Amino acid sequence: MNPTRNEDGAGGHTTPGQPKKPNMFGLLIAGLIITFIFNLVAAKMAAGNKLQVEYGQFIQMIETGLVRQVQIDDQQIAFTLKEGLDQNTLREILRLPEDMEGPGERRLLNGQVYYTGLLEDPALTERLLKNSVAFSKPIIQPNPIRDFISGWIFPLLIFYGIYFFIMRKFSGLGGMGGMMNLGKSKAKFYGMEKNTGVSFNDVAGQDEAKESLVELVDFLHNPEKYRQIGARQPKGALLVGPPGTGKTLLAKAVAGEAKVPFFSLSGSEFVEMFVGVGASRVRDLFAEAAKHAPCIVFIDEIDAIGKSRDSQMGGNDEREQTLNQLLSEMDGFDSSRGILILAATNRPEILDKALLRPGRFDRRIIVEKPDLPGREAILAVHAGKIPLGAGVDLNEISRSTSGATGADLANMVNEAALRAVRMGRSEVLQEDLMEAVEIVVAGKEKKDRVLSPREKRMVAFHEVGHALVSALQKNAQPIRKITIVPRTMGSLGYTMQTPDEERYLMTRSELLAQICTLLAGRAAEELEFGEASTGASNDIERATKLARNMVTQYGMSEKFGMMGLESLSSQYLDGRSVFTASDASNAAVDVEISRIINQCHGQALELLRANREKLVSLAEYLCIRETINGVQFMEKLAS
């Protein structure tokens, strides 16, 4: 099927977003109405400057010597009065009230233009000559063509110019297309000639997601083999996952592999302040997609228009109309024509149930954070674009970046390349990559921050306390690096631990060992200096969160057992917990968390007391060196 062929079979190509011609007939009618009102107002204003009198009053004014000048045209006689005239006589002729005073009287008696109707009066000229009144006909005679141009054509041109200027400013696109295109789709269009430039080779670490999408690509290429068995192409696929995991990249890769036109836009581009505009854009988008079928339509951040509808006050009518139109369009189009709808979100829990039902988004494809092999594959993709040194070990980097997304890894590789340039090298070394990891995790080194000897010693004992307790426990993670060099993200030092293998499950003893390691920094301060510092605030926060999860979610509490007390909200964003039990249970949870924290803190103190000499020697060694790696730490511990 020709993707540039219209529905009626006639050849043609219409680029999405190209402005349609405005309705000129409607524009002309509007201009005529405005011009008519303009002429009517102008006539009333002109008439408001004159005062009409009876013809008999006009003759009386001439006979009494009040008139100064007369101008006679084809329909009326206009005249003005002399200065210093007899006001009482004028009052009597015009029949004005005797007590009339103020601005109204001054306007009538000084400089007022009067007019009266033109009658057949052969004696008028003689009266004017007899009373020495200057009179004449207009020098400029009426011209119907000139009056028509000045009264109708010229105002229309002014109206058109104002309209053109306002629409240009409103749309920022020039011409009259702005207002007329308010309901046009804003989708970015990548056609056959200008494709996305992305293929599945550019996507790594998401093998399961790619496997689900490869079938959709194959359906676009070979629809007949699926139709023979009665299979139908899924109408839509929803990509769900945390930010930075490559949902948009996957959608572009699908279009790049399928070699079909690709429409890409964000859900927020449907939402406008005018009710009905978003629905119009949805209709326009699907109309353009039908013209270019087979094609792929990708809506990023679909939660902007796909939020669940409710009957609560303060609902967004524009968003709900847009969603209703999207649901209607997805029901109405024929998937056999090769139109595939892809959407991405990191908040699937807030999407409307009607949007997620089969027949609309038939597949939900989870795009999770990559595991250890996935991180190594992603690093290989990005590192393949830069020159690497001979000793670069991407496996070691991937083990040091547990929990990182594809976007994080791409940023780390770029930071490593920037560091290599700063160091004057033409290739990226292992140290560049490791420093890039630390920059993303903890920030850059603050070389201008100088700690006092006491603070430096306190930070050293704090960090060695973490490392020593971790090394003394069976279930703890191995140490990779210890440093007391301040970083820009607020840390005065840190201890880096990297697991030997990727872990998906944690036992109760392993979680308690993590809490114990986190609290060991505070325990070392108390043991050596006899008091606590503010340096353990982040450790306490993380330890409390782990202990709370043990009690409320993991069923690892002696008091509550396997009772679930919290549920996760925004799983792919901040993972916020929502407490689902009573207030009494909430207070009891706090008591249980405090018990676990105190128990682990006591265990950390016992381990450090039993190894006090090792603690002191390692801390003094760290004060001198400032940064040591895991091998140096273990050698010093064993000596």
**Calpha distance 20→2 (Å, rounded):** 23
Exposed / middle / buried, residue 344 (Cβ in 10 Å: 0-12, 13-18, 19+): buried
Per annotation, catalytic residue among 463, 528, 566, 592: 463
Given a contact cutoff of 8 angstroms between Cβ atoms, the answer to whether 437 and 400 are in contact is: yes
Per-residue b or e along 213-222, where b marks 16 or more CB atoms closer than 10 Å to that residue's CB: beebbebbee
Helix (H, G, I), strand (E, B) or coil at 566: strand
Q: Which amino acid is at 616?
A: V
Helix (H, G, I), strand (E, B) or coil at 239: strand
Q: Which of 270, 255, 247 shows the shortest CA–CA distance to 187?
A: 270
Phi, psi of 315 (to 5 degrees): -70, 160
Strand ranges, E, within 102-243: 113-117, 134-136, 188-190, 236-240
Given a contact cutoff of 8 angstroms between Cβ atoms, the answer to whether 239 and 344 are in contact is: yes
**Calpha distance 515→84 (Å, rounded):** 107
Two structure tokens written together for 358: 């089969």
Q: Which of 411, 407, 404, 403 shows the shortest CA–CA distance to 436?
A: 411
Strand 479-483's sheet: what is its strand order?
494-497, 479-483, 627-629
Two structure tokens written together for 35: 């011009």
**Calpha distance 261→251 (Å, rounded):** 12
How open is the CA angle 66-72-77, to the nearest 5 degrees? Answer: 60
Q: Which of 497, 490, 494, 429 shows the shortest CA–CA distance to 464?
A: 494
CB neighbours of residue 602 within 10 Å: 13
First CA to last CA distance, the chain: 76
**Calpha distance 467→524 (Å, rounded):** 11
- Annotated active-site residue 463? The verdict is yes
Q: Which residues are catalytic?
A: 463
